[in-house]
Amino acid sequence: MQIQINTDHSTPGDARMAEQVRASVEHALRYFKHKITRVEVHLADENGAKTGVRDQRCMLEARLQGRQPVASTAHAATLTQAVQAASDKLVSLLETELGRQSSDLHQTGPAPD
């Protein structure tokens, strides 16, 4: 699963921030990693230099093997919160799109007898 991070002109896109975002998205989507070819992360500060309560936006788009892309968007006070909220929404969408396949998605070991 590739993760591509894009930022707007007012959002810092340094290596440390990119690694934190990448780790958060990978962790949230870990159960779906074999079904996703790429995740595009779009980060933006919608008010630019102005401050705001929920002005940080994260849009995630998951490209699925053999299916249409699935996307989620969240706004929050910080980029970290926006990434987490968008990840949570995307997981819910993926569960709906792909179905709850317990043997593929949520079990870490062999199925009980």
* pTM, to two decimals: 0.80
CATH number at residue 39: 3.30.160.100
Query: What average pLDDT is seen over the chain?
Result: 84
Range of 42's domain?
Answer: 2-78
pLDDT in tens, 76-95: 999 999 999 999 999 999 99
Q: Count other Cβ atoms within 10 Å, centred on residue 70.
A: 20
pLDDT in tens, 1-15: 999 999 888 777 788
Give the contacts of 85 (CB within 8 A, at least 6 positions apart). 58, 74, 75, 76
Task: For residue 104, tell me if it sits in a domain.
Answer: no
Number of domains observed in the structure of the chain: 1
Task: For residue 91, tell me if it sits in a domain.
Answer: no
* 81 token code pair: 């919160």
